[in-house]
Structure 1
Amino acid sequence: MSTYEVNFDGLVGLTHNYSGLATGNIAAAENALTESNPRQAALQGLEKMKRLADLGIRQGVLPPQDRPAVGPLRKLGFSGNDASVIRQAAAVAPGLLRACCSASSMWVANAATVSPSADTEDAKVHITPANLPSQFHRSIEAAATSVVLKRVFSDERFFEHHDPLPPNLYCADEGAANHMRLCSAHGEPGLEVFVFSRSTRRDAPQPLKFPARQSLDACEAISRLHKIKPERQLFVQQNPAAIDAGAFHNDVVAVSNCNVLLYHEAAFLDWRETEKAMVEAFNFSSCPVHFIRASESDFPLAEAVSTYLFNSQLISLPGGGMMILAPSECRNSDSARIFLERIASDASNPISRIEYVNLRQSMRNGGGPACLRLRVVLTEPQFDAVARDSRTILDQSLYGELKAWIEKHYRERISPGDLGDPALLRESRTALDELTHILSLGPIYDFQKV
């Protein structure tokens, strides 16, 4: 049976702005309160999707969330109609309003953890939305994420949905950005690698500057919920030094695809022990793991964080082999470009191609190519069910409609002061209502159900 890894990318929302909300995200902090271009951001993300679809890689689309998020503002004491709520928040709590305008749901690598049916005891795809409790602007996403994922992956014969874990730091879960999978091929059983950064039960070092977001308890809970066999799971700790350097998620310093792991030596608490543990746990496969490790002398950690090299997409090509889709910032960095070219010229690994993509609007907020996609391994019947039940699989026709939709509805510029304009909410909801028709999703937003 044919099996595919499908990249479901998040469409950038209409309120894309630079508010510097994410603690530990250096790019977001550096660009805080500057002007953004939502239209350009959305078009850049859409062009990345089309580029992969044109290569024959199956590509899906996930809608943005309703922003400004009026519901949380009401719970925090603002009242009246929606326009009044926004005006009040803008007047007395502009930072809170900025958080409720964040378009961070575009980074769907944080939306959920997904385990393919080849790894689960009941042979279903298991999906757990992330609770994201460490940052307020992201903690308000989980309920809407659940609605979208249940609608897109709706066939109960194939998909098992779980509620987000309880929203607290003990069970803090940041989704697939801290989850990797090693396998001989996408359809074969794999080793699910959960990367945690904090634990209440292990005497391990913690970051000193920035918060550790992903808990070991959350990783273990998700593995239980997903019915992963004990011998097919591995829990490793992210290096606190990487977090303090700005790698707030593991996918800033490591990316895997099939049996290849590309990472910086500072990614894990002990890279030698991590490699050894992966080799031992992956012993059920006849296919060895290809470790491609950047040392500090090869490529400094600070440069890795600024270029997001390890937040590239590592992709299996339909004709065989792999490619790296890296942010254009890597092409502009001599050390990053030389390191990538060395990988592609090394015949001992499957990577033979490097391409670059312009995602400057997302990168200025701390999100590269890998942040914008949720990887979902689907068999042919599972894929057909998704394609049947909604219109979220990108083809030329859908691309054209989405491009026209963006150009029609998105503002070219948003400055911090614009977020208090109630017209932005009306514009956003008009656009989202139209989008649900384009994607055949039905009424997924609360404002559509009133």
Structure 2
Amino acid sequence: MKSFEVNFDGLVGPTHNYGGLSFGNVASQSNSQQASSPKEAALQGLEKMKALMDMGFVQGVLAPQERPDVAALRSLGFSGTDAQVIERAAKDAMPLLVASCSASSMWVANAATVSPSADTADGRVHFTAANLNCKFHRSIEHPTTSRVLGAMFADQQHFAHHAALPAVAQFGDEGAANHTRFCRDYGEAGVEFFVYGRSAFDSRYPAPQKYPARQTHEASQAVARLHGLSEEGVVFAQQNPSVIDQGVFHNDVIAVGNGELLFHHEDAFLNTESMLDELRRKLAARGAKFESISVPRDQVTVDDAVRSYMFNSQLLSRADGSMLLIVPEECRANPRVWSYLQGLTSAGGPIREVKVFDLKQSMQNGGGPACLRLRVALNETELAAVNPGVIMSAPLYDTLTGWVNKHYRDALRESDLADPQLLLECRTALDELTQILKLGSVYPFQIN
């Protein structure tokens, strides 16, 4: 039976703005308070989805969240009508209003961790929504994320859904941004690679000093247990604390993996050689030939990697066995990064081609190609059980671009977030979107 790695890209929401909310994310903080363009952001994301579909990859779409999150503001003591809640938050606590308006759910690499059926004890595809409790504006996402994923992958014969881990610092979970999977074939048993920034309970593990380590070892272990993964099918690795302090807030800012290949910076991990040996050994037991490409710091610095998002890329397998690397335009603008990538593709290794996409609106807020997609490995039977409304096609692309042009603003500034009309615009758009994607009622305003 044929198997696929399907990329479900996050559709950028109507309140996309540069709030500078993510401490530790250099791009997010450095572009704070600039005017954004929600329409341009959504169209840039859709263009990438369409391009990958046209290249023959199975591509899906994951819906954004309702924003501003009035319920979150009510839980913090603001009362009255929805318009009054927004007005009072804007007057008394603008940072909370900005957080409640964040369109950060566009980065669906943080939506959940996904384990394919070939790896799990019960032979189903498992999803655990990420609690994202390190940042308030992201910690409010997982209830809607769970409903949306449940509407997309509804068949309980094939799919299992787990609630987010406890929303405490000891179980900080950032989803697939700190998780990848290696395998010979997507339909065969593989090795799942969990990367964490710190241990919550063991002080012997080093930790960053400047920026927070968002993923804990304990959270990664809990997800592996929930998904029924075997000891032979997992490897846990720690991020290098020094690169977290340089702006590598998730592992997917410094490494990317696919198939039998890990592409990473020399300074990405602690105990790199022993970790690579464990991956090599466990994959060999599954008939896979693991390979790693380590990018030397004297050719590409950590700062280069953070500013270009060279590793926050999509590594895709082609039918001929070669790999394609999808990178943002910022890689071409960085001479050292671009020189390295040109040498990489001409060296005869597994990565044979680099394609560049303009994702400036997302990049300025700290998210590149890898942030925008959630990878789900599915066999033919499982793919047929996915809600067909979320699988990209030429007609769906046309419908969604028309939907964006109809509902999204050309520009959005912080002062615009206080406009109660923005909430009405968002709800109108999302109500129509649930019909387009055949999701049913997944948003609070549709349920309450």
Give TM-score, length-normalised by structure 2: 0.98
Q: Percent identity?
A: 51
The equivalent residue for 1:49 is 49
The whole-number CA distance in structure 1 between the counterparts of 2:222 and 2:434 is 33
Aligned partners of 1:314 and 1:324 also within 8 Å: yes
Alignment correspondent of 1:437: 435
Q: Distance in 1 between matches of 2:319 and 2:247?
A: 34
Aligned position for 2:140: 140
Deviation, structure 1 residue 334 = 1.1
**Is contact 2:130-2:174 (8 Å) kept?**
yes
**Amino acid in structure 2 at the alignment position of 1:160:** A
Matched residues in 2 for 1:24 and 1:435: separation? 33
CA distance in 2, matches of 1:357, 1:262: 19
Describe how 1:61-140 pairs up with structure 2 within 5 A.
61-140=61-140
Q: Which position in structure 2 is the counterpart of 1:298?
A: 299
What's the offset of the Cα at 1:346?
1.8
Equivalence map 1:242-321=2 (5 Å): 242-321=243-322
* 1:182 corresponds to 2:173: no
Amino acid at match of 2:226: L
Q: Is the 8 A contact 1:62 1:392 kept in 2?
A: yes
In the alignment, is the contact (CA less than 8 A) between 1:72 and 1:100 conserved in 2?
A: yes
Q: Within 1, Cα distance between the matches of 2:320 and 2:84?
A: 56
**Partner residue, 1:371:** 371
Aligned to 1:330: 331
Please state how far the C-alpha of 1:341 moved relative to its aligned partner. Answer: 1.3
Q: Partner letter of residue 247 of structure 2?
A: G
Deviation at 1:442? 1.1
- What's 1:21 paired with? 21
Residue 427 of structure 1 deviates from its aligned partner by 0.5
Q: Deviation at 1:319?
A: 4.4
| 2:114–2:376 contact (8 Å) kept in structure 1 | yes
Residue among 404, 407, 423 paired with 1:406: 404
**Distance between the aligned counterparts of 1:191 and 1:135, measured in 2?**
29
Alignment correspondent of 1:446: 444
Q: Equivalents in 2 of 1:409, 1:29: separation in Å?
A: 28
**Structure 2 counterpart of 1:422:** 420
The one-letter code of the counterpart of 1:184 is R
Tell me the distance in 2 between the aligned counterparts of 1:96 and 1:328.
Answer: 32
- In 2, distance between residues paired with 1:112 and 1:436? 20
1:33 match: secondary structure: coil
Whole-angstrom CA distance in 2 between matches of 1:40 and 1:21: 21
Q: Report deviation, 1:318.
A: 3.6
Name the aligned partner's letter for residue 61 of structure 2. Answer: V
Q: Are 1:362 and 2:353 an aligned pair?
A: no
Could you say what secondary structure the match of 1:45 adopts? helix
AA matched with 1:418? D
Q: Provide the C-alpha distance between the structure 2 equivalents of 1:318 and 1:137, rounded to a whole number of angstroms.
A: 40
- Give the stretch that moved more between structures: 264-273 or 89-98: 264-273
Q: What's the counterpart of residue 210 of structure 2? A: 209
For residue 352 of structure 1, what is the aligned residue in structure 2?
352
Q: Which runs of 4+ in 1 moved over 3 A?
A: none
Secondary structure of the residue aligned to 2:275 is helix
Q: What is the DSSP-based 3-state SS (H/G/I as helix, E as strand, rest coil) of the residue aligned with 1:89?
A: helix
Aligned partner of 1:393 in structure 2 is 391
The CA deviation string for residues 44-73 of structure 1, in whole angstroms up to 9 with x for no partner, is 000000010000100000110000000010
2:253–2:311 contact (8 Å) kept in structure 1: yes
In 2: Cα distance, 1:318 partner to 1:369 partner: 21
Give the letter for the 1:407 counterpart: N
Q: CA deviation at 1:202?
A: 5.2
Task: Map Cα deviations across residues 216-254 of structure 1 (whole Å, 9 max, x no partner).
Answer: 111111101100011111111000011001010000000
Whether the 8 Å CA contact 2:284–2:290 is kept in 1: the answer is no
Measure the CA separation in 2 of the matches of 1:189 and 1:429: 42
Structure 1 counterpart of 2:34, one-letter code: T
Is the contact between residue 255 and residue 310 of structure 1 (CA under 8 Å) also seen in structure 2?
Answer: yes
Pairwise CA distance, 1:339:
1.0
CA deviations 1:89-134 (Å, max 9, x no partner) are 0001000000000000000000000000011111110100000110
Q: Distance in 2 between matches of 1:301 and 1:189?
A: 33
State the AA in 1 paired with 2:407.
Answer: H
Distance in 1 of aligned mates of 2:244 and 2:149: 29
2:283 and 2:377 mapped to 1: Cα distance? 19
* Cα displacement (A) at 1:186: 1.2
Q: 1:401-441: CA deviations, max 9, x gaps?
A: 00000011100100111000001001110000010111111
Task: Determine if contact 1:65/1:103 at 8 Å carries over to the other structure.
Answer: yes
Q: How does 1:228-243 map to 2 (within 5 A)?
A: 228-243=229-244
Q: CA deviation at 1:3?
A: 0.3
- What is the CA–CA distance in structure 2 between the aligned matches of 1:245 and 1:275, rounded to whole Å? 23
SS of the equivalent of 2:264 reads strand
Looking at structure 2, the residues matched to 120 and 318 of structure 1 have their Cα atoms a distance apart, in angstroms, of 26
8 Å contact kept, 1:56–1:318: no
Whole-angstrom distance in 2 between the partners of 1:7 and 1:318? 16
Secondary structure of the residue aligned to 1:118 is coil
Letter in 1 for 2:219: A
- Counterparts of 1:318 and 1:110, CA distance in 2: 28
3-state DSSP of counterpart to 1:370:
coil
Helix, strand or coil at the partner of 2:311: helix
Distance 1:268 1:276 in 2: 13
The letter of the residue matching 2:129 is: P
Unaligned runs of 5+ in 1: none
